[in-house]
Amino acid sequence: MYHSTAADPGLPVNVTPDLLSEHLRFLQRRGKRCCSVRALLAGEPGCDLALTFDDGYANNLDILPVLADFQAGATFFVLTGGEGETLSHHQPRHVPLMGRRGWRTLHDAGFEVAAHGHSHRRLTELSVAEQEQEIAGSIQTLRETLGVASVGYAYPYGAMDPSSHLLAKEYSEYACATRYRNPLKEDRWRLRRINISAADEGRRFGLKTGTPFRLLCDLGC
- Per-residue model confidence as pLDDT tens digits over 6-62: 998 777 689 999 999 999 999 999 999 999 999 999 999 989 999 999 999 999 999
pLDDT tens, position by position, 93-126: 668 899 999 999 999 999 999 999 999 999 999 9
Task: Collapse the DSSP code of 166 into the 3-class scheme (helix H, G, I; strand E, B; otherwise coil) and give the result.
Answer: helix
Cis peptide before 183 (omega within 30 of 0): no
Q: Which of 46, 21, 12 is nearest to 32 (CA)?
A: 46
Q: What is the CATH number of domain 17-218?
A: 3.20.20.370
**What pLDDT does 219 receive?**
46
Q: Is the pLDDT confidence value at 181 over 90? A: no
Say yes or no to pLDDT of 216 above 50: no
Q: How far is CA 136 from the centre of its chain?
A: 18
Provide the whole-model pTM.
0.90
First and final CA of the chain: distance in angstroms? 16
- The C-alpha atoms of residue 4 and residue 173 are separated, in whole angstroms, by 25
Q: Where are the domains of the chain?
A: 17-218
